Amino acid sequence: MYSGFSTSEKCGEHRVNKTSCVLYFLASFSFVQTEIKRLIDSVAESASSKSPVNLSEKFLALTVSVICKAAFGLSFQGTVLNNDRFNKLVREAFMFLGSFSASDFFPNGGWIIDRLTGLQGWRERSVRDLDDFYEQMFDLHKQGNKNGVEDFVDLLLRLEKEETVLGYGKLTRNHIKAILMNVLLGAINTSAITMTWAMAELMRNPRAMNKVQTEIRNQMGNNRSVITLDDIDQLHYLKMVIKETWRLHPPAPLLVPREVISEFEINGYKIQPKTLLHVNAWAIGRDPDTWKDPEVFFPERFMDNDIDAKGQNFELLPFGSGRRICPGMYMGTTMVEFGLANMLYQFDWKLPEGMVVEDIDMEEAPGLTVGKKNELLLVPVKY
Ligand code: HEM
């Protein structure tokens, strides 16, 4: 069986290849524009009927469509997975990746506990369903009806056919599924979670909401339908809002676990090889020794410093750092910037009838990625 994220730092060569694979499909980024247009149209429908929009669901649908098209060259609609099943599978996969597994801690007998708690069966079922999805995707790729354009999956299948040696051995079908699993799970939830938290924080902070919308609307003027990369470059406050969202709500709060290769000492503790290490990016973002009023959403805190989120400033690590840093960092950031900029430019946002700001809950859902537990429902008003 293949697994999602590998926990070892040792796969240096494999990492280079995986990163190049991810970079390979970043070039096909025009999908973002097309899918955002689709999102705007569907939100505009709710605006005309004055009905609430489930933003958590809309943002997830946006990232799923972009990633499936960019990475897999297809829309998952019409495959063995329908919309609901696909979303459920992604959610389940994150829950089991983030859940306590006895076999991680007791390699000899822990599997018995995992069987008794049902974790093992649950994992097997989810992976089997995803396996069916991948197999169908491979069949569709073999039929090859994309005008001869090679996408990410075609590339991996070609490397397998050519018996290409990557890292420790030949690329097999299971390696391909593991790479796709990494991309799927690494890419989809994280961007959607960020956009949802950002909108929830802005609704709770009307001053910041007003400021970010004014910035976007001043930049765009009244009648623009397309936001360009040049526009995004000018949206300094929006970028601060996103950084502040990542500080309080890093989508992968414990990053990806590391396995220690050789003994080292930190703060008097001797850490042994094979120890599993977790970096708590969530706690770092709320550390009162680093951040003034850490619990307060205050994007301006990034005005007078050049702390960025690219893994060089250890106070803010939404994408991790080092050799295992997120290879989709630029794609994720672009998706979040474009998604939010468009939603904030095109629409004003109101709470559903009878709700007040204090009713917006910020409870977190457990898992390897941590999103807002309850879905965010807001009423759009066309600008
Ligand atoms: C806002 C968006 C995103 C956030 C916050 C995010 C965050 C992260 C984090 C924290 C890690 C672990 C890094 C570490 O432990 O040092 C990671 C890994 C990863 N991410 Fe992202 N990610 C995002 C978007 C994406 C996108 C769009 C893709 C693909 C196009 C992607 C692909 C991956 C992959 C493949 C890994 C595993 C890397 C490895 O195992 O070495 N991510 N991401």
Annotated binding site for heme: 326
> What's the CA gap between 256 and 325, in Å, rounded?
9
Instruction: Identify the pLDDT of residue 238.
Output: 98
- pLDDT, one tens digit per residue, over 308-331 is 999 999 999 999 999 889 988 988
Q: Is 372 in the pocket of ligand 1 (CB under 6 A)?
A: no
The number of angstroms, rounded, from the C-alpha of 176 to the middle of its chain's C-alpha atoms is: 20
For residues 285-298, give the mean pLDDT: 97
Instruction: Tell whether the model's pLDDT for residue 144 goes beyond 80.
Output: no
Contact 364, 372 (CB under 8 A): yes
Q: Which of 25, 326, 370 to mutate to test the pocket of ligand 1 (most atoms within 8 A of CB)?
A: 326
Arithmetic mean of pLDDT over the chain: 84
Q: Is 36 in the pocket of ligand 1 (CB under 6 A)?
A: no
> What's the CA gap between 12 and 65, in Å, rounded?
31
Tokens of 309: 């989120």
Q: Which atom of ligand 1 is nearest to the CA of 15?
A: 41
Residue percentage of the chain with pLDDT more than 90: 48
Instruction: Identify the pLDDT of residue 219.
Output: 92
User: Between residues 80 and 291, which one has the greater pLDDT?
Assistant: 291
> What's the CA gap between 92 and 368, in Å, rounded?
10
CATH number of 16-73+145-348: 1.10.630.10
User: Between residues 371 and 19, which one has the greater pLDDT?
Assistant: 371
User: Between residues 14 and 27, which one has the greater pLDDT?
Assistant: 27
Buried b (16+ CB within 10 A) or exposed e, 245-264: bbbbbbbbbbbbbbeeeeee
Q: Is 324 in the pocket of ligand 1 (CB under 6 A)?
A: yes
- pLDDT, one tens digit per residue, over 164-218 is 887 778 999 999 988 888 887 788 889 999 999 999 999 999 999 999 999 999 9
Q: Is 5 in the pocket of ligand 1 (CB under 6 A)?
A: yes
User: Between residues 111 and 274, which one has the greater pLDDT?
Assistant: 274
Instruction: Identify the pLDDT of residue 273.
Output: 94
Instruction: Identify the pLDDT of residue 101.
Output: 73
For residues 82-105, give the mean pLDDT: 68
Give domain limits for the chain. Answer: 16-73+145-348
Q: Which atom of ligand 1 is nearest to the CA of 251?
A: 5
Please give the distance, rounded to the nearest whole angstrom, from the Cα atom of residue 188 to the centre of ligand 1. 10
> What's the CA gap between 305 and 301, in Å, rounded?
8
Q: Is 371 in the pocket of ligand 1 (CB under 6 A)?
A: no
pLDDT-derived band at 126, boundaries 50, 70, 90: confident
Residue located nearest, by CA, to atom 6 of ligand 1: 319
- pLDDT, one tens digit per residue, over 32-62 is 888 888 899 999 999 999 999 999 989 988 8
Residue located nearest, by CA, to atom 1 of ligand 1: 191
User: Between residues 80 and 121, which one has the greater pLDDT?
Assistant: 121
User: Between residues 85 and 268, which one has the greater pLDDT?
Assistant: 268
From the list 207, 204, 206, 236, the residue with the least C-alpha distance to 219 is: 236
Please give the distance, rounded to the nearest whole angstrom, from the Cα atom of residue 248 to the centre of ligand 1. 18
Class of residue 306 by CB neighbours under 10 A (exposed 0-12, middle 13-18, buried 19+)? exposed
> What's the CA gap between 28 and 41, in Å, rounded?
22
From the list 349, 2, 17, 32, the residue with the least C-alpha distance to 187 is: 32
Helix (H) or strand (E) holding 135: helix 119-143
Q: Which atom of ligand 1 is nearest to the CA of 331?
A: 27
Contact 184, 71 (CB under 8 A): yes
* Residue 347: strand pairing partners: 382
CA dihedral 324, 327, 330, 333 (to 10 degrees): -70
For residues 253-259, give the mean pLDDT: 91
Q: Which atom of ligand 1 is nearest to the CA of 257?
A: 15
From the list 4, 73, 22, 12, the residue with the least C-alpha distance to 326 is: 22
> What's the CA gap between 196 and 189, in Å, rounded?
11
DSSP 192-260: HHHHHHHHHHHHH-HHHHHHHHHHHHHHH-SS-----HHHHHH-HHHHHHHHHHHHH--SSTT-S-EE-
Class of residue 215 by CB neighbours under 10 A (exposed 0-12, middle 13-18, buried 19+)? buried
pLDDT-derived band at 98, boundaries 50, 70, 90: low
Question: Which residue, chain included where needed, has tokens 């205050």?
Answer: 298
Q: Is 194 in the pocket of ligand 1 (CB under 6 A)?
A: yes
Instruction: Identify the pLDDT of residue 13.
Output: 37
